[in-house]
Structure 1
Amino acid sequence: MFAKNVGGLDRILRIVAGLVLLSLFFLYPDASWRYFTLIGIVPLATGLMSSCPLYSIMGLSTCPVKRV
């Protein structure tokens, strides 16, 4: 499917950041900036899939897996 290009620490940071942003969405339901926190879906999804489309476009990888 997608090539893995997100390594361990990068993956953990993305998942944590995504969960924090999404939790803010539910913790502050009346805040004016509430919908900005939905951007947390992006780092959460890329962390869970271990693949970042932007990294692919830029040719970057933090994954220690060797490319063949």
Structure 2
Amino acid sequence: MKNVGQTDKWIRIILGIVLLSMFFFVEGNAKYFGILGIIPLYTGLSGNCMLYKLLGINTRKDN
């Protein structure tokens, strides 16, 4: 079940892209934090967040 609203989706997608870009543009070990960008990018694109599901949060407005 989808539980991520439109605003939440766009914030997650942008955050995911920014974090993933760290992997390519940052030197040293800090670049590996960029891999964490996969999580918000995936949840933003899919509209489903497992943490929200566990906590009973739903930011999606039903149409």
* TMscore range, shorter length: over 0.9
| Larger helix fraction of residues | 2
Q: In the alignment, is residue 46 of structure 1 matched against residue 38 of structure 2? A: no
Q: Structure 1 length normalisation: TM-score?
A: 0.86
What's 1:24 paired with? 22
Query: Which contiguous aligned blocks of 4+ residues in structure 1 show a shift greater than 4 angstroms?
Result: none
Structure 2: stretches of 5+ with no match in the other structure = none
> Looking at CA atoms only, which structure, 1 or 2, has the larger radius of gyration?
1
Q: In the alignment, is residue 15 of structure 1 matched against residue 21 of structure 2? A: no
Matched to 2:10, the amino acid is I
How far apart are residue 21 of structure 1 and its match? 0.4
* Distance in 2 between residues matched to 1:9 and 1:31, nearest whole Å: 33
Aligned residues: 63
Q: Structure 2 length normalisation: TM-score?
A: 0.93
Structure 1: stretches of 5+ with no match in the other structure = none
